[in-house]
Structure 1
Amino acid sequence: MKKNVAIIGGGPAAFLLAAFLDADKFSVTIYEKNKTSGRKFLVAGKGGFNLTHSEAVKELIHKYTPDDFLTNALCHFNNTDFRIWLDQIGIPTYRGSSKRVYPKKGIKPIEVLHAILQHLKEKNVILKYEHTFSDWDSCGNVIINNQSISANYTVFSLGGSSWKVTGSDGSWLDTFSKKGIKTNAFQASNCGYHINWNTNFIKKNEGAPLKNITITCNTVIQKGEAVITSYGIEGNAIYGLSPQIRKQFQVNSFASVYIDFKPSLTLENVLSKIQLSRFGTTSDILKKELKLSTPAIDLLKTYLSKETYLNTKSLAKNIKKFSLDLIRTTSLDESISTVGGIDLKALSDHFELKKIPHQFCIGEMLDWDAPTGGYLLQACASTGVYLAAYLNKIH
């Protein structure tokens, strides 16, 4: 006789769990509180639909914080496995120049979602919309739409606390805490950061990009692009440093990061180009010799003293290591993802809640972190498939 699996939440982790559960062993129902499923999945796709990242698995694992919790799941269902499965359901992929993996050109996020949902339909997975989890009854069964739901296995895939418009509001956190399950408060990740900009500087440079830079925090270096905003800075060159920046905020009222405006050159190369340049003014040397952008030059001119700016050695050092102080993150709702949620120590190696047998948590509701670029979606998929393999094995 088939066992019943109740999956609460209709996102990527839930989809992959349902897709890989053995249909001969389990009857699967997904309960989604929205009128449709995959809303955050679609919103994420608007900014460049990274399905996963193509780097070697050994490197992939170390992009996560902590870098050991997801190892088994990522090795069991890695980025290559994910691409193979997507191709099998009619979504061919390709690797971009950044090593990020995208659906084949012309395939929209909604088409990817429809392909996944069609696959689940073919496996007789039932999706019930406008069904909201609120608590547990006295017998430990989950309560959905004020009714107790009895299942052999219950899996929570409730997401984090960013982009509340998609339903990912983290409202479940207190319910789990009251149940005695250890949770951690949500914090913004892959987000923008506030800076006390000079008024004249921001009037000239709001919205301008800083391209081909690296930003360093606590010895961790992130390469990419950042955008100067009215409130501070955002972009992939800062997003990937979220764990390191949070550590500084825990002990200080600010976090210090360092911009390298010319990561392709050594300090000696930069100094030599300045000293040997045929251009007469410092601004011309920076613009024409070193090819620095106007926003980068304005940053140096605005925040360095006149003496530092005109001294070739100190200027070269600041081009390679320009200090910038961040004062706080943007709000949870403005962040791409969040950390916090279910404390990892509350789970077994197979994501089972230690306090409630046969009930599991997967995906972004767990307290792990990852940069943008396909890593978030890959981990959600991997946790779902890994749990499916475990359930398939024990039955």
Structure 2
Amino acid sequence: MSVRASIIGGGPAGLMAAEVLAQAGAQVTVFDAKPSMGRKFLMAGKSGLNLTTDAPLERLLPRFYEAADRLEPMIADFDSKAIQAWAKRLQQPVFTGSSGRVFPEAMKASPLLRAWFARLDALGVRRVTRARWQGWDDAGALVFDPPQEAQFMQPDVTILALGGASWARLGSDGAWANMLKDRDVPVIPFGASNVGVSVDWSTHMQRHFGAPIKAVKWTVNGTHSRGEAVVSAHGLEGGGLYPLARHIDASTSLFVDLIPDMDAAQIAERLSKKRGKASLSNHLRKALRLSSVKIAMLQEWSRPVPQNAVALAALIKNLPVAHAGLRPMDQAISTHGGIAWNALDNGLMLKSMPGVFCAGEMVDWDAPTGGYLLTGCFATGRWAGQAAAQRLGLL
């Protein structure tokens, strides 16, 4: 007799769980509220799909912050090497960039997703779109809008892979949180992660919108992140800032070091050279090779700009960023918060709801960009799928 598994959420965690369960012999149906699956996955691949970072476990784990210990067995079971091998089995060759980040050679998500769907189809996985999950009825059956066939509403196992609470238009709206709270499942409030900061720019910054800020270091409360950002109409965005988002609110002091490879004394020495009739901007450009956007930031946040070389050097090394907190959560790449770890057993099954497993960003873990988010989703999806298959007696 076949056993049935219903997976709610057609992102990378849900699809990975589906693959594992189908390979084990379960009859698998994946439900998604949107007209197509993997929408956030496709969005992530628009500028090059960063699948993972090619690094040993001891370097991967710290990037998952407080959840590293809980995630360790899952990521060890499906680490960056395993992810690369999995992509290659889908006939999607990968390459590793100079920073260690791993990308498909196609540099897009769509070819990999098509190949993945083809594999799932071959395994007999049924995919149902435009089916929004509404929770459970009084008899414990899954409820969807519109209603689905009764045989799939009371599966032998259910895996929830509904994402966090960002990019609602792509499917991750966090609406599931109240459904689980109603069943006394502890859920940690969501917060924005991997998101930019809001800045109320003066008009003189408008010509710099879209400009990259390269070779800088950002600091919040003693925590540093080195990496570039981009000036946008609403503030600052970019991989250099994203790891600090979890430490920032409207009252947090944020600083940027515009020349992290030189100390203040070296900068002051260069600035002390006679500039003649050159304007301060030209002097900064010639003496320090500061880009126009960095000079504009210096002028934006230090009125008037110090003329004294030592004071100006100190400011260049520790320029206060006048910000108004993070951009809205729905603009974040990801969110922290979600199902509390103490609500789950070691197989990611809800302790209060036997047979219901959770995976992906809906669990309370966080990671920076750089392939770590997808690594966590793949690993937890696979782990939940294996645990569900074990519960069904298939492994």
Q: Could you state the TM-score of these two structures normalised by the residue count of structure 2?
A: 0.91
**5+ unaligned residues in a row in structure 2: which ranges?**
none
Show the counterpart of 1:289: 287
Q: After TM superposition, give the deviation of residue 107 of structure 1 in Å.
A: 5.3
Report the Cα distance in structure 2 between the residues aligned to 1:201 and 1:55, rounded to whole angstroms: 43
- In structure 2, the residue matched to 1:108 is 108
SS, match of residue 69 in structure 1: helix
What letter matches 1:384 in structure 2? G
What amino acid is the match of 2:214? K
CA distance in 2, matches of 1:107, 1:283: 39
Cα offset for 1:188?
A: 2.0
1:161 and 2:165 aligned: yes
Q: Give the CA deviation at 1:181.
A: 1.2
Q: Equivalents in 2 of 1:377, 1:301: separation in Å?
A: 39
How far off its partner does 1:103 sit? 0.6
The whole-number CA distance in structure 1 between the counterparts of 2:247 and 2:353 is 33
The CA distance in 2 between the partners of 1:388 and 1:303, in whole Å, is 51
Displacement of 1:192 after TM fit?
1.9
Whole-angstrom CA distance in 1 between matches of 2:186 and 2:224: 32
Q: Which has the higher mean CA deviation after the structures are superposed, 24-33 or 90-99?
A: 24-33
The residue that corresponds to 1:73 in the other structure is 74
Mapping for residues 18-29 of structure 1, pairs under 5 Å? 18-21=18-21, 23-29=23-29
**1:191 matches 2:189:** no
2:316 partner letter: I
Q: Distance between the aligned counterparts of 1:232 and 1:124, measured in 2?
A: 47
Is 1:176 aligned to 2:180, yes or no?
Answer: yes
The answer to whether the 8 A contact 2:264-2:310 is kept is no
Structure-1 separation of matches of 2:24 and 2:330: 41
> Offset of 1:347 from its aligned partner?
1.5
Partner of 1:237: helix, strand, or coil? coil
Whichever residue aligns with residue 193 of structure 1, its letter is: V
How far off its partner does 1:24 sit?
Answer: 4.4
**Offset at 1:65?**
3.2
CA offset at residue 360 of structure 1? 0.9
Closer/same/farther in 2, CA of residues 363 and 24 from structure 1, 3 Å limit: closer
TM-fit CA distance, 1:22: 5.8
Deviation at 1:98, TM superposition (A): 2.5
8 A Cα contact 1:254 1:325, kept in partner: no
Alpha carbons of structure 1 residues 108 and 298: separation in structure 2 relative to 1, 3 Å: closer
Cα pair distance change 1:291/1:7, threshold 3 Å: same
Quote the residue 2:236 is aligned against.
233
Please identify, of 64-73 and 357-366, the stretch whose mean Cα deviation from structure 2 is larger.
Answer: 64-73
Q: Structure 1: how far apart are the matches of 2:258 and 2:91?
A: 42
Name the CA shift for 1:238/1:139 in 2 (closer, same or farther; >3 Å). Answer: same
Of 361, 375, 379, which residue of structure 1 is paired with 2:376? 379
Moved more, 213-222 or 356-365: 213-222
Instruction: Report if aligned partners of 2:301, 2:321 keep a CA contact under 8 Å in 1.
Output: no
CA separation in 1, counterparts of 2:262 and 2:2? 63
Q: 1:130 to 1:230 in 2, by over 3 A?
A: closer
Write the distance in 2 (CA, Å) between the matches of 1:332 and 1:300: 28
RMSD: 2.0
Q: Residue 82 of structure 1 aligns to a residue in which SS? A: helix
Q: Which amino acid aligns with 1:294?
A: S
Q: Is the 8 A contact 1:301 1:309 kept in 2?
A: no
Residue from 203, 208, 219 that aligns with 1:205: 208
Aligned equivalents of 2:326, 2:302: Cα separation in 1: 25
Distance across 2 between alignment mates of 1:84 and 1:382: 14
Contact (CA 8 Å) 1:255, 1:325: kept in 2 or not? Answer: no
Superposition deviation, residue 57 in structure 1:
2.1
Contact 1:27 1:125 in 2 (8 A): yes
Percent identity of paired positions between Structure 1 and Structure 2? 33
Q: TM-score, normalised by structure 1?
A: 0.91
C-alpha deviations, 1:214-251, integer Å up to 9, x for none?
11112222122111222221111111111121xxx3xx
One-letter identity of the residue aligned with 1:46: K
